[in-house]
Chains A and B, each alone.
Chain A
Amino acid sequence: MVKRVVVGAHYGLKDWLAQRMTAVIMALYTVVFAVSLLAQRPAGYDGWRAFMSQGWLRFASFLFVVALLYHAWIGVRDIFMDYIKPTAVRLALHVVVIVLLVGYAGWAVQVLWRL
């Protein structure tokens, strides 16, 4: 194996791996969620609320939200890296995205926690 000298900020590999791990978490959640939805077929508000209130699902949904937060951040940052060349504009957009994503995550977690 060739021993390479890696230059740069060194966050590339970590983020590359994180992008994939969060993807696997969300993909598994999607399948499990779809299967339990089909198996339980909750009807009406009470059914839907009882369905989402299940302890294991709230646990899993919370993990999904955190995974989504990180996954979306890496994805959107990569898009900005490709298309937004002026550093100041890109940096400003990065801050906007982080603020939005953290806020969204808090909002979603609040919906789950209230159950």
Chain B
Amino acid sequence: MFEGELHMSQLALKKERPKHLDLTKIRLPVPGIVSILHRISGAGLFLMLPLLIHLFDLSLASAESFERFKAVVASPLVKLILLGLTWAYLHHFCAGIRYLFLDLNKGIELKPARASARAVLAVSLTLTVILGVALW
């Protein structure tokens, strides 16, 4: 097709629609951030399951293993991982409840959807801080 044959609206479409999937240029809206964090937190929890079950096992197997559990949990690295997993669980929990409501067509309009997404981020972070302070 010649340049001259292009309709004006086609030209406008060509200009106004930059098509790129550059992750550094895409500005994800808040619900999108909650969504990808839901996936990341779920993956993180899955990957760390052996650590969590191991700690659960140590805490219950015997009085001696309970002491070992306390020693393992006291190490800064494990503390950091557990704090991260606490956030992951809380975020996954809060975002999951939000999705259950969205599935029931509750709060699917743009405004409430954005507000609830912000609430998920805020509540899970706040609870993580509270639990972090309370436990350590």
Contacts and interface: CB of A to CB of B under 8 A. Distances in A.
B63 A107 contact: no
Contact of B39 (A24, A72, A79): A79
A52 interface: yes
A20 interface: yes
Given A104-B49, A111-B53, A30 B63 contact: no
A48 B96 CA distance: 29
Interface magnitude class on chain B: 20 to 34
A24 B96 CA distance: 9
B2 interface: no
Contacts of B42: 72, 75-76, 79
A23 interface: yes
Interface in B26-79: 39, 42-43, 45-46, 49-50, 53, 56-57, 59-61, 63, 66
B96 A27 contact: yes
Interface string A94-115: 0000001000100110010011
A79 B42 CA distance: 10
Interface magnitude class on chain A: 20 to 34
A1 B89 CA distance: 39
Interface of A: 20, 23-24, 27, 30, 45-46, 48-49, 52, 72, 75-76, 79, 100, 104, 107-108, 111, 114-115
A76 B103 CA distance: 20
A76 B43 contact: yes
A interface secondary structure, majority: helix
Which 5 A-B pairs have CB atoms at the shortest separation, nearest pair first? A45-B66, A45-B63, A111-B57, A75-B42, A23-B96
5 contacts: A23-B96, A45-B66, A48-B59, A79-B42, A111-B60
Given A72-B49, A104-B50, A49 B100 contact: no
Nearest to A61: B56
B48 to A, nearest CB: 11
A46 B46 CA distance: 30
Contact of B43 (A49, A79, A111, A115): A79
B46 A72 contact: yes
B81 interface: no
Given A45-B63, A108-B53, A108-B56, A30 B93 contact: yes
